């Protein structure tokens, strides 16, 4: 399975360590893939900054490199504020390019889970759905702090 990863631009200097670890271990949003299903990153870039100028073009390059799915990095949902465009980005890519978009990569770190819980950031039905692939349990979230 070939995948592309798009990260929030405010984390543009991120080296991807948590994403790659989660991919290797099939944790967080990568738990949808079996260990028998080899995963290959065919693209890794930022959204281009608000309001996501790179979202329009990056998926095309990833697909040319064989991407069968695109993951939005967990930073889109844990940063403050979480990306207000994420639902639009997901719909745009899926409709324009015909590839599935998975919201998330590594599990949400516990420290972000606690902060967003206090702030009630993710209390809507839409956000509960968006964070579901990376929510995991407390023990796993602590491993990603």
pTM of the model: 0.95
Average pLDDT of the segment spanning 79-97: 96
CB count in 10 Å sphere of residue 37: 9
Q: In whole angstroms, what separates CA 74 from the centre of its chain?
A: 4
CATH number of the structural domain spanning residue 117: 3.40.50
Say how far apart CA 107 and CA 113 lie, in whole Å.
Answer: 10
Q: Which two tokens stand for residue 56?
A: 């329009």
Domains contained in the chain, number: 1
Q: Could you tell me the residue range of the domain that residue 14 belongs to?
A: 2-143
Confidence of residue 61 (pLDDT cuts 50, 70, 90): very high
CA dihedral defined by 82, 107, 21, 64, rounded to 10 degrees?
-50
C-alpha distances (whole Å) from 23 to each of 7, 90, 96, 102 are: 15, 20, 26, 13
Give the pLDDT confidence of 1-57 residue by residue, as tens digits: 999 999 999 999 999 999 999 999 999 999 999 999 899 999 999 999 999 999 999
């Amino acid at each position: 399975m070939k995948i592309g990863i798009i990260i929030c631009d405010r984390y543009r200097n991120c080296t991807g360590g948590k994403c790659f670890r989660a991919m290797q271990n099939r944790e967080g949003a990568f738990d949808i893939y079996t260990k028998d299903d080899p995963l290959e990153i065919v693209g890794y870039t930022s959204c281009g900054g608000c309001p996501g100028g790179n979202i329009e073009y990056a998926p095309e390059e990833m697909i040319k490199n064989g991407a069968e799915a695109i993951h939005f990095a967990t930073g889109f949902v844990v940063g403050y504020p979480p990306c207000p465009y994420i639902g639009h980005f997901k719909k745009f890519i899926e409709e324009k390019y015909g590839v599935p978009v998975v919201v998330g990569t590594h599990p949400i770190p516990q420290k972000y889970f606690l902060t967003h819980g206090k702030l009630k950031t993710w209390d809507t039905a839409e956000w509960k759905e968006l964070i579901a692939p990376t929510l995991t349990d407390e023990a796993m979230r602590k491993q990603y702090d």
